[in-house]
């Protein structure tokens, strides 16, 4: 393992993934969405509670790598501040741009360390994909 890869997996992302503080399905979600990465086998299901157009809470269950879990942890923490579906779409886009080398959005700085590892970008964006599916289903 080269130094850059070792640094990635010894970063704050790994700490988030190990702790899994926010992992768990919601007991009564408005909607759920699942996303899979066929290249590595990651799979995540995200539950959302929507009320009057706002994401009130987000839960997840992941059978995924540390990068995916860390991203889900950051996403669920961010949702606690209150967000709309449009806010979620903007944040997902901002995270994708951070993986391409642009500045990371506030609270998501740790994800920028994945930028040099193009093959791992999908691991980071998978929780956003599942959450967007859930919100879309919940708003229908």
Q: Rounded to whole angstroms, how far apart are CA atoms 110 and 26?
A: 26
What pLDDT sits at residue 136? 94
- Both tokens of residue 139? 């708003």
Residue 58 vs residues 20, 28, 104: alpha-carbon distances, Å = 14, 11, 21
Cα radius of gyration rounded to whole Å, the chain:
14
- What three-state secondary structure class fits 118? helix
Q: Rounded to whole angstroms, how far apart are CA atoms 35 and 134?
A: 10
- What three-state secondary structure class fits 108? coil
- Both tokens of residue 11? 């970063």
**Model confidence pLDDT, tens digit, residues 26-45:** 999 999 999 999 999 999 99
What pLDDT sits at residue 36? 97
Which CATH fold would you assign to the domain 3-139? Sufe protein. Chain: A (3.90.1010)
Residues of the chain with pLDDT under 70: 1-11
What pLDDT sits at residue 22? 85
């Amino acid at each position: 393992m080269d130094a850059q890869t070792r640094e990635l997996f010894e970063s704050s992302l790994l700490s988030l993934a190990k702790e899994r503080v926010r992992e768990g399905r919601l007991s009564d979600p408005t909607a759920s969405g699942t996303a899979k990465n066929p290249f590595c086998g990651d799979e995540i299901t995200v539950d959302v509670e929507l009320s009057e157009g706002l994401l009130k809470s987000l839960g997840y269950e992941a059978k995924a790598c540390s990068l995916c879990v860390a991203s889900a942890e950051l996403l669920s923490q961010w949702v606690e501040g209150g967000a709309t579906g449009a806010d979620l779409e903007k944040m997902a886009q901002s995270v994708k741009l951070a993986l391409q080398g642009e500045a990371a959005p506030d609270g998501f700085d740790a994800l920028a360390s994945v930028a040099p590892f193009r093959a791992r970008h999908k691991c980071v964006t998978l929780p956003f994909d599942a959450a967007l599916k859930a919100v879309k289903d919940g708003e229908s």
